[in-house]
Amino acid sequence: MKLRCERDVLVDALGTAGRAVAGRSGALPVLSGVRLEVTGDHLTVTGTDLDLTITVSSMVNGSVDGVVVAPGRLVTDIVRALEPGAVTLETGDSESGDEDLRITAGRSAFTVRTHPAGDFPRLASPSGDAVTLPAEGLSEALRQVVRAASGEDSRPILTGVLMAAEAGGLRLVATDSYRLAVRDLPGAGAVLSEGQKVLVPSRALGELQRLLGSAAGGDVELRLGQHDATFGTGSVALTSRLIEGEFPNYRQLIPASYPNRLVVGREALLDAVRRVKLLARDATTPVRIALRPDGIELTVITTDWGTATEDVDAKYEGAEMTVAFNPAYLIDGVEAVPTDEVVLDTLDALKPATLRPTDSDDYLYLLMPVRVS
Partner 1 sequence: MTAGNVATLWHTGAVARPTIIHVDMDAFYAAVEVLDDPSLAGRPLIVGGTGARGVVAACSYEARVYGIRSAMPTARARSLCPHATFLPGRFDRYREVSEGLHAILSDVTPLVEGIALDEAFLDVRGAEALFGPAPSIAADLRARITAELGLSSSVGVAPSKFLAKLASEAAKPVVSDGGTRPGAGVVVIEEGQELAFLQPLPIEALWGVGPATAARLRRLGLSTVGSLAAVPLATLEGAVGRSHGRHLHRLAHAIDDRPVEPDRTVKSVGHEETYATDRFDPAVLHTEVLRMSDAVAARLRDAGVAGRTVTVKVRYGDFRTITRSRTGPDDLDASRDVARAASALLDAVDVSPGVRLLGVSVSALRPVGAPSAEQLTLRLDAPAERPEAERSAGWAAAADAVDEVRRRFGARSVGSAALIGPGGLRVKRQGDTQWGPAAPGADGGPGSGGRRRERDALP
Interface positions with partner 1 (CB under 8 A): 158, 175, 177-180, 248-250, 252-253, 284-286, 301-303, 324, 326, 350, 352, 366, 368-373
Shortest distance in whole angstroms from residue 369 CB to partner 1? 6
| CA pseudo-torsion sign 289, 141, 150, 33 | negative
The sheet with strand 42-48 has its strands ordered as 66-71, 33-39, 42-48, 52-59, 236-241, 228-233, 219-224, 131-134
Which one, 58 or 285, has the nearer CB to partner 1?
285
When the beta carbons of 120 and 325 are compared against partner 1, the nearer one is 325
Q: Which is nearer to partner 1, 79 or 324 (CB)?
A: 324
Residue 220 Cβ, how far from partner 1 at the closest point, in Å? 29
**Cβ-based nearer residue to partner 1, 174 or 185:** 174
Cα separation of 225 and 125, whole Å? Answer: 8
User: Shortest approach of partner 1 to residue 324 CB, angstroms?
Assistant: 7
Nearer to partner 1, 113 or 371 (CB): 371
CB 63 within 8 A of CB 8: no
Gap between the Cα atoms of 362 and 303, Å rounded: 41
Query: In the complex with partner 1, which residue's Cβ is closer, 118 or 151?
Result: 151
**CB-nearer residue toward partner 1: 55 or 285:** 285
**AA identity, residue 80:** R
Task: Report, in Å, the least distance between residue 79 CB and partner 1.
Answer: 33
Minimal distance, residue 242 CB to partner 1, in Å = 20
Q: How far apart are CA 69 and CA 28, in angstroms?
A: 13
Give Cα separations from 9 to 83, 143, 359 (angstroms).
13, 27, 42
Closest distance to partner 1 from the beta carbon of 323 (Å): 11
| Cβ-based neighbour number of residue 270 at 10 Å | 17
Task: Say if residues 302 and 275 touch (Cβ distance below 8 Å).
Answer: no
* Least spacing, CB of residue 256 vs partner 1, in Å: 15
How many Å apart are CA 44 and CA 60, to the nearest integer?
Answer: 10
Q: Which is nearer to partner 1, 46 or 326 (CB)?
A: 326
d(CA 373, CA 293): 24
Question: Could you give the 3-state DSSP secondary structure of residue 75?
Answer: helix
Q: State in angstroms the smallest separation of the CB of 299 from partner 1.
A: 11
Least distance from partner 1 to the Cβ atom of residue 248, Å: 4
For residue 232, the cross-strand partners are 221, 237
Q: Is 19 helix (H, G, I), strand (E, B) or coil?
A: coil
Identity of the residue, 110 or 250, whose beta carbon is nearer to partner 1 in the bound complex: 250
Distance CA 283, CA 326 (A): 8
Of 93 and 304, nearer to partner 1 (C-beta) is 304
Q: Which residues pair with 169 in a beta bridge?
A: 166
Three-state secondary structure of 261-303: EEEEEHHHHHHHHHHHHHHCCCCCCCEEEEEECCEEEEEEEEC
Give me the least distance between CB of 173 and partner 1, in Å please: 12
